[in-house]
Amino acid sequence: MAPPVADVDVESNVPVHQVKKSVGSQPVKTATSSRLDVPLEYSGTLDSYDHFDVTKVIGREFKDLQLSEILHDDAKIRDLAILVSQRGVVFFRNQDINIDDQKILGQRLGELTGKPETSKLHRHALSNSKRGIPVDENGRLDDEVSIISSEQNRKFYKDRFTAFSKKIASNGWHADITFENIPSDYAILKIIQPPEDAGGDTLWASGYEAYDRLSPALQKLADGLTATHNQPGFVKVQNDFGEELIDQERGSPENKGLDFKAEHPLIRTNPVTGWKSLFGAAGQVEAGWINGVTERESEILKAYFLQLIVENHDLQVRFRWNKNDLAVWDNRSVFHTATNDYIGKRQGNRVVSIGEKPYYDPNSKSRREALGQLSS
């Protein structure tokens, strides 16, 4: 039986459209669990806006829709969240949304799709107000906005974030803040200053499709494993540059301390779609490992999962930024990376919502299976 609307809705009288799923398939509910018992259905409220799918597998772009016009329409914001979870990332051009509205949107996407009440907006340990970079023209500093700054990256990670780096660019693939005990559901990035020279694109890759590229035997193995996500870079920056880090309440009571290490299912079920996604892969486990296997087996699996993401161009989408363009993506089911192929300054404001504790539902389906796209 579907739960009453009050169980999944927050300050909204908009009905929730749900898909039936087997009872008892999810772990025992806790304060950090998704409040959804079944996936959500897109109701079509955004169909009248001009849009197109950027690739077959991932990405949708709305040509003229201003998010500021639908910000307080719960039905449309819920549908937007569902679309983002289905398509992985959704793009909007030349947005007039301000930073306060961007934060409201970041919180509402998750609230309207069942995230725990304890989950708020993430306060990034490093990319926060302590770096002194304003988030608007009035000089405002805000810990709930992650500053995406080419100048900061070149200072802290000069061996990688430069157009002249000799590092393999594929090392940059990641999903945001998976080192937190309660990581992100949705993220919103608005580029307020693209580089004057060409470059600075962002790529996203579908974790759904990466999972579907695994053989049934490897899927069965991966379904039962967990991975330890580890981010030692922040403490290194603290030690090398003397930068202060945020060590408490980073968007959830569970996200605290300077360990930046968390164990999550290798394959994660997205509660909004009910689809399985490769999760314990790429940059978030570069300094981590896969549990329950030997060290060598962990390295082999990590390398293969990264290869799936990097070498399959047809599960990727690439976006070239113009000033004030905005992207919304689902960190549970996509990886992304920036192209550091420019010399000029690039800056953006990213709002990252905290979601639910990651889980694997053995009764969930892969994307291809759910859409009836499995090969015969």
Structural domains in the chain plus CATH codes: 43-370 (3.60.130.10)
* pLDDT value at 20 more than 60: no
pLDDT of residue 137: 83
pLDDT of residue 167: 80
Average pLDDT over residues 19-26: 41
pLDDT of residue 27: 64
Lowest mean pLDDT among 15-29, 87-101, 111-125, 313-327: 15-29
pLDDT of residue 26: 52
| Alpha carbon distance 268, 287 (integer Å) | 20
Q: What is the mean pLDDT of the chain?
A: 91
The values of phi and psi at residue 319, to 5°, are: -125, 125
Is residue 21 very low, low, confident or very high in pLDDT (cuts 50, 70, 90)?
A: very low
Q: Where are the alpha helices (DSSP H) in 2-73?
A: 67-70
This model's pTM is above 0.85:
yes
| Alpha carbon distance 83, 63 (integer Å) | 15
| Alpha carbon distance 38, 8 (integer Å) | 10
Burial 48-75 (b: 16+ CB within 10 A, else e): eeebeebbebbbbbbeebebeebbeebb
Average pLDDT over residues 30-43: 97
